[in-house]
Every structure is written in structure tokens, then in C-alpha cells.
Amino acid sequence: MTYAMTDRAVPKSRTKKQTLLKQIMTMPAGAILLVFATLQIVCIIGALAYPDDFRYLSPQNLTILMKAIPVLGCLALGAGILMIAGEFDLSIGSVYTLTAVLMATLVDGGMSAFIAAPLGILLGVIIGFLNGTITLRFGLPSFIVTLGGLLFWRGAVLLYNGAVQVRFDPEPAFSSLFAGTLFGINAAFIWIVAFVIGFYLLLHRHRFGNHVFATGGNPAAATAIGINTDRVKMIAFAIAGGMAAVAGIIATARVGSVQPGQGAGLELQAIAACVIGGLSLRGGRGSIIGIFLGVMLIHTITDVLLLLRAPGFYLDMFIATLIVVAAAFNHLIERRGAA
């Protein structure tokens, strides 16, 4: 036995032979980036070729897109970080409505929106902690616990304020902070970009993010190395709840009212955006840029179908196909990684 043997101890690396396309595909969020870029190019060419029939690049359309993306974006960022830690939160749609209703009624009662909004976020965080505590203390699947949360808080909205719309009429400073414009860019869109950067730093550049990936990727290894996985998951649950409340604030500030049923189905869209963005349902895999691209892709497709005046059911069918294809693709990548 000589040391020279070690030089051929292992099959040669395959990476050198990979083409650029393959490299992009194996990058985190590489595939989604490719799909997104292709779609954008097609849309832009289409808009330039038929400016009257396909108004994709019109200022009105871009404004609609910028207003629509932040709400789902906030929900998906929170849900995504929790998914990477290996847990689910199905209650975020209901929490989104509940916290918005709480904030709107408090403002209606004379409270400043600058106090009511943080209270709404606090409620979201508390519900997140509650989900986490029940899940971890009793060792239950978070899917079931938060399914309970979805129904419970949906009911709580009706108990608290009935099935009526709540007007939201904050001071102008609050409105312009969340629904105004800065240099022609929608304030809510600036918020979501800031959140994406913040979450990117937290998940990919901070110690906590490293622990999130370890907790979701290999809980036994994370524990063996001394990471408190319960604490990591607890914080992730709280982030998911808090971001649901933030989404509620942004949506409410834009529309000026809260509908008691407005959050229904949003939790599934948020998880769909995460899956499309390359997150694994088993945790431990994913990226913030992937989540954001997943959100943008869902909204771009929605927008294109609206511009083409396609009936609404096409949208559901399109997104559904995208989710399944994305999940299958992710699974292939994972299996290759495990082999």
C-alpha cells in the first residue's frame, strides 16, 4: 500500500465534463432561473411584436405585477425557511387574514397603524410559536398541527369580527410607506426586495441559516454536532407566522380593506411557489432566490393568462402542472445526490 494509490482511489470527478447548461441546471435554483428567463424573453418579444394585443410591458401591467408579487412573496419566504428546516405551515393563509383583521379593527377603533401593525406581526409570531410548540412537544407532523391551525384561525376571524369586510383607513404616512411609490417603484415591491435580501443574508450567509439547512437536511447529524434543532425549528415557525402577518399588512394597505375570506388558498400557493423554486418537501434543500423566482413565475404566468384573456381555470391547471413537474425534477436531483 502506497500513498500513490490514493490518487486513483475514487472515480474521477464528473464536473469537468459538464456543459454550461448542465452546470446551470445543477445550481440551486438554476432550473427555475432558466424557465423564468425563457418565459421573460418570450413575453418581452411577444410584447414588442404585438404591443397592442399583448400589453406585457405597459406601465399599468408592470405596476399590477409589482403590487401582486409582495403578498405571496412574504408568505412564501416565511413558509420556505420553515420548509427548509423540515416543517410545514398550512395556517399562514388564515393567520394572514386574522392578523390583518386585528390590525384593521384596532385602527378603526382609533389606534395608530404604526402600533397596530407591529401588534399584528406579534400575533403572527405568537401563533407561529404555538404551532411550533404543539408540533415539537408532542412530536406530531406539523402538516396536521397547522392544518388544525388553518381551520381554527379561519373560524377565529369570523368569531372575532363576523363575515363582514373591515375598512382599513390608516394615517397617510402609513399608507405611503406600504402602498406609495418611490422613484416610480411601488413601495410594496421595495419591501419585498428588502425582505428577499434580508432572508438571503439570514439563510445563506448567517450561522442560523446553516443550522436551518442542517436541521432539515440531517436532524441526527445536526443534533450530534451540537445544534439545538428544536430551537431552530421554533424560530422558523415564528418567522413563518410573522411573515404571514407582514403579508397581511401589505395587502391591506394596498386594498384599504380586509375580506374575511381573502387568505383562503394562499398557503398552498406559497408552498407551491417554494416547490417550484426548488425546495425539497423533505427539508434541507432550497434557496431564497428560488423561492422568489417561484413567486415571480406564478405571478408572471397569472398575468400572461390574464393578458391573453384566458379563462381562470387555465391558471389553476397551469400552476398545478408546474408544481408537479417541479417536484418531479427536484426529486430527480435529490436521488442523484443521494446515489
Among positive and negative, which fits the CA dihedral 319, 324, 328, 334? Answer: positive
Nearer to another protein, 105 or 218 (CB): 218
10 binds another protein (CB under 8 A): yes
Q: Distance between CA atoms of 36 and 28, rounded to whole angstroms?
A: 14
| Residues 6+ away with beta carbon under 8 Å from 214 | 221, 222, 225, 227, 229, 284
Minimum CB distance to another protein, residue 88 (Å): 18
- Give the three cell numbers for residue 8: 486513483
In the stretch 190-229, what mask flags binding to another protein with x, by CB under 8 A? -----------x---xxxx-xx-xx-xxx-xxx-xxxx--
Q: Distance between CA atoms of 278 and 24, rounded to whole angstroms?
A: 13
Nearer to another protein, 159 or 338 (CB): 338
Task: Restricting to residues 281-300, name those near another protein by CB under 8 A.
Answer: 284-285
Minimum CB distance to another protein, residue 139 (Å): 21
Minimum CB distance to another protein, residue 335 (Å): 10
Task: Restricting to residues 249-288, name those near another protein by CB under 8 A.
Answer: 280, 284-285
52 binds another protein (CB under 8 A): no
Minimum CB distance to another protein, residue 229 (Å): 11
DSSP conformation letters of 44-102: HHHHHH-TTT--TTSHHHHHHHHHHHHHHHHHHHHHHHHHHTT---STHHHHHHHHHHH
Burial class of 244 by CB neighbour count within 10 A (0 to 12, 13 to 18, 19+): buried
17 binds another protein (CB under 8 A): no
Interface residues toward another protein, by CB under 8 A: 1-3, 5-13, 15, 201, 205-208, 210-211, 213-214, 216-218, 220-222, 224-227, 280, 284-285, 337-338
